[in-house]
Amino acid sequence: MLCKYLQYEGDLFQKDMLVLDENESTIELKEDDLLLVIGIEEDALNKQSSRYLRKLLRSQGRKLLISTQMIDQKMLNYFHETLLLPIDHLEMKERRIMFHCLIDMMMSRYHECA
């Protein structure tokens, strides 16, 4: 649901937004692309993260991470910018609502700058 919302918001600015999962075919990031990794579920970005994600992180483009959990330092080194929100005490529903609001704020800032 959160990914669909992000795609909808991207459409408002005529920006292509792809939601990737483990079953996606290989995507090549270009230098001017942005990879936004959102980690809400526990252990979503641990040391055992998918090979596909690790491959994307080694590719070109700007990489940003927003996560509700503390991340291994080795994984953090792949990202240009990070926002870590240690909110383990919140239920999953509350985390999703918080991310929904955060996406709204990011999109409104982007709209002001565009």
Radius of gyration from C-alpha coordinates of the chain: 14
Tell me, what's the pLDDT at 11? 74
Tell me, what's the pLDDT at 103? 81
Q: Which domain holds residue 33?
A: 2-113
What is the number of structural domains in the chain?
Answer: 1
CB 50 within 8 A of CB 22: yes
State yes or no: pLDDT of 105 exceeds 60: yes
For 56-104, the pLDDT digits (tens) are: 778 888 888 888 777 778 878 888 888 888 777 788 888 888 888 888 8
For 3-50, the pLDDT digits (tens) are: 777 777 777 767 777 776 655 566 777 887 878 887 776 666 665 566
**Cα-to-chain-centroid distance, residue 39:** 7
Q: How many CB atoms lie within 10 A of CB 35?
A: 21
Question: Residue 107: pLDDT band by 50, 70, 90 thresholds?
Answer: confident
Q: What is the pTM of this model?
A: 0.70
- Round the average pLDDT of the chain to a whole number and report it: 75
